[in-house]
Amino acid sequence: MSIDFCVEKINTRSNTRKMVNEAIAIEAPVNIFINDEYVITLLSTPEFKKELALGWLFDEGVLESTNQLKQINIIQDNINITTKHPIPEEKLRVVSVSRLITTACGLSAKKFFAIMSDLEQKVVESKYSVKADAIIRMVNRLNESNLFCLTGGVHEAALFENEKLVAFAEDVGRHNTIDKVVGIGIQSNVNFSNTVLVSSGRQPADMVLKAARMGIPIVVSKAAPIRSGIIAAEKTGITLACFVRNPKMNVYTHHFRIL
């Protein structure tokens, strides 16, 4: 989602100054509640709000099964998820360390160490594999993003099940794009053990661990890996491929899944 924004713009090449209407990406707060209790605010492009909230709860390990869900209510920017049974306080305490998640998606030291301690508990055992040229085709689908072409201000993510596109999302925050496509996948009953998660953003540990919690075996990105992301992928059994640009890519961990 974008808005035509009227702004005075200076062109340094021609040394001209004029008022123009330019497409600008939007960010807006999405407030997540669990059983009527406020948990966190995500700053996000205001599309797929329900999917964002659902994906975030699963990606952060708050929920593990759709059987836990009772209902989801949306009132403007507030999303309340009601569960059949109370969520353990410890889970909510960890994810609520930072009450506001900005589009920069910076981590507090406390949240970082919580992530690193969780790595050993999430191991992806799927033997699913794909050919390298199929990976290239999947990443090329990100280049079809209309919002990025208009604004230059968003990230994209896509989820492929058995090489078929099942979810696509754009957002000002790269973490949000992952949560959105996972949320779409959950609602579509996707078998995550046969999926490839494609992202336009760099891959630190917290991005990789989102995939690990869902059992996604292959994560690929047009961008760079971060050291913590490579460590996370190695420990959780995920195949991590970055700098995916036709006709090549760098595969950093669990190479057997890329044929």
Catalytic center residues: 105
> Strand 195-199 and strand 155-161: pairing?
antiparallel
Cα distances from 124 to residues 70, 83, 209, 221, in angstroms, run 28, 26, 10, 19
Tokens 């507030």 found at: 78
Residue among 2, 48, 31, 30 nearest 180 (CA): 48
Instruction: Kindly provide the b/e burial profile for residues 196-207, where b requires at least 16 CB atoms within 10 angstroms of the residue's own CB.
Output: bbbbbbbbbbbb
Residues 6+ apart with CB under 8 A from 32: 38, 39, 40, 41, 42, 53, 56, 57, 79, 81
User: Collapsing DSSP states into helix, strand and coil, what is residue 181?
Assistant: helix
User: Collapsing DSSP states into helix, strand and coil, what is residue 209?
Assistant: helix
Instruction: Kindly provide the b/e burial profile for residues 122-147, where b requires at least 16 CB atoms within 10 angstroms of the residue's own CB.
Output: bebebebebeeeebbebbeebeebeb
Residues linked to residue 74 through DSSP beta bridges, in sequence order: 79
Structure tokens at 16: 């001209």
Structure tokens at 244: 């995916």
Please, what is the Cα angle at 84 between 96 and 177, to 5 degrees? Answer: 45
